[in-house]
Amino acid sequence: MTTPDDQDEYRLVLEGISKQYPGCLANDNINFRIKPGTIYALLGENGAGKSTLMKIIYGVVKPDSGRLIWEGEEITISAPVQARRLGIGMVFQHFSLFETLTIIENIALSMEKSDSQDMDALAIRIKEVSIKYGMELNPHRLVHSLSTGERQRVEIVRCLITDIKLLILDEPTSVLTPQEVDTLFKTLHQLSAEGTSILFISHKLKEVKALCDFATILRHGAVSGSCRPKDESTTSMAKMMVGDETPVGHDYKKVIGGDDFLTVNNLNLKTDDPFGITLKNIDFSVKKGEILGVAGVAGNGQSELLAALSGETILVEDGKILFPNSDLSKHSPLKRRKDGLAFVPEDRLGQGAVPDMSLWENALLTGALQGMVKNGFLIRKVIEDYTDLIIKQFKVKCGDRYSIAKSLSGGNLQKYIIGREVLQKPKCLIAAHPTWGVDIGAAIAIHKELIALRDNGAAILVISEDIDELFTISDRMCALFDGQLSPIKATSDTTIEQVGSWMAGVFDEQPIT
């Protein structure tokens, strides 16, 4: 039991924190202690309650019960502004920067009025801080001209510019290249050496192992264990995250595909969106019976490439999309589906599925060609059988076929969408971020289905930000950077470092050590 005396050595102590949302207990009696100068990991699957706990610390969400003790004093944090005054800073997964303002202006906005009067002094300070921590920034640049990695630096510098005692980072590496991750980790080590406490939220176990001193694992809203990551294997930590029943870690056999099946020739696509990416001279082909993985940090042309492939954007320039030998670059999405293509879109809700419609209606969304419509009328029996088949074969956890799409968890809805596309027996599947935000159990199930589809002779293109996923399932790999495609190599002939440099735009052939 803690006594007031030994609470003094802790910077922040959480005792018995609980938070109930309608229909879900997000945090269940959580105890957690943070010392100065230490890096903590908060691990857990999606929906385990990590975000809620962070938001409680940052004053965004109020706990229903429990105590917060900050440097030995019990307090309530009622707003982020109060948290910042205490010295708590947070870097959100989705950046909160105004794209049309400069770095200084963005940082000045989040500061106390008295501190942000002198913009020139602030600019110098930003420069100093950013250099000191190895994340150099030019304070006068507009945010929209920054790369994702640089934007994250702005977020971090914003926290460091005032005296920071606790820095919270929500899945900070999901938007970074491996090299950028290394830089970030150096900065975080430097900060912790100076006495800052760091709370690092992630579900990437390798990073937690490399960076953190302690890890606390959440499951179903409660603490399910804690450990020293350096003493544990990633498999043992994964077990704590998902429970014992789910198998963790898989090696799939790499194969060499057959003939070129989907070929993209010299695809150029100018964007109208000022923050969009122009695709330049994209050339690749996906072979029959293989998975081609496209790595890349979000916002490097993935959305644009997907739209061009699916037909949501029709090419105006002369690029060709051959499947297998006829050009379908001018065809509508429906016509492409008729030819045997299928698509798993980027967004599950609001693109892949209509949030407020039932599962059977969402089966009809892209499955209409499977005999679900006759003379313009819906054949309910066919639709419902198809829906039930997806639910059964892909083990979708849901009420029944009448459940509303948005009532499913992210992983289950993703399984449903993948199932809907895979059961159409496509000759070629184009899948975007197939396991983004999906728990480990569902991710493995999805990977197995993709491999099974590949083994049946389909050509599969997977676009993902998750390098580990691509190394696990793809047979060949490449990366997108600023609308350009890197060379393509067999997965067994490349390394994480090489793909990482592709993601950073270094396409040179020389080996990287």
Partner 1 sequence: MLKLESRGYNSKLLSYASPLLAGLLTLICGSILFVLLGKPPLETLYTFFILPISDLYGLSELTVKAAPILLCAIGLAICFRANVWNIGAEGQLLMGGLIGSWVALSLLDAEGMWVLPVVLFSGILGGIFWAIIPAYLKTHFNTNEILSTIMLNYISLNILLFAVHGPLKDPNGYNFPESALFSSATELPILFDGTRLHLGAGLALLAVVVAWVFLSKTFIGFQMQVLGQDARSAHFASFKEKKLVWIAFVVCGALAGLAGVAEVTGPIGQLVPNISPGYGFSAIIVAFLGRLHPVGILFASLLMALMYMGGEMAQINLGLPLAMTGLFQGMLLFFLLACDVLIGYRIVLSKPKNKLLTPTTSSISLESK
Residues contributing to the site for partner 1 (CB under 8 A): 21-23, 60, 78-81, 90, 92, 94, 96-98, 106, 109-113, 310-312, 332-334, 337, 343, 345, 347, 350-357, 361, 364-366, 368, 373, 376-378
Distance CA 125, CA 409 (A): 44
Could you tell me the smallest distance in angstroms from the CB atom of residue 336 to partner 1? 8
Q: The tokens 């998902």 sit on which residue?
A: 242
CB of 356 to partner 1, least distance (A): 6
Q: Which is nearer to partner 1, 166 or 503 (CB)?
A: 166
- Return the axis-axis angle of helices 440-455 and 410-422, rounded to nearest 10°: 10
Alpha-carbon distance of 310 to 290, in angstroms, equals: 19
Nearer to partner 1, 247 or 399 (CB): 399
CB 264 within 8 A of CB 484: no
* Nearer to partner 1 (CB atom), residue 143 or residue 295: 143
Q: Cβ of residue 55: shortest distance to partner 1, in angstroms?
A: 8
d(CA 367, CA 360): 10
Query: Which residues have C-beta within 8 Å of that of residue 183, sequence separation ≥ 6?
Result: 134, 135
Residue 111 or 255: the one with the smaller Cβ distance to partner 1 is 111
- Cα 470 to its chain centre, rounded Å, is 13
CB of 157 to partner 1, least distance (A): 14
Residues 79 and 60: their CA atoms lie apart, in Å, by: 6
**Cβ-based nearer residue to partner 1, 57 or 211:** 57
* Least distance CB 367 / partner 1 (angstroms): 9
3-state secondary structure 102-153: EHHHHHHHCCCHHHHCCHHHHHHHHHHHHHHCCCCCCCCCEHHHCCHHHHHH
Please, which residues have CB within 8 angstroms of residue 160's CB and are 6 or more apart in sequence? 89, 129, 133, 167, 191
Q: How far is the CB of 5 from partner 1 (least distance, A)?
A: 36
- Cβ proximity to partner 1: between 100 and 492 the closer is 100
CB nearer partner 1, residue 59 or residue 301: 59
Q: How far is the CB of 347 from partner 1 (least distance, A)?
A: 8
How many CB atoms are located within 10 Å of the residue 129 CB? 18
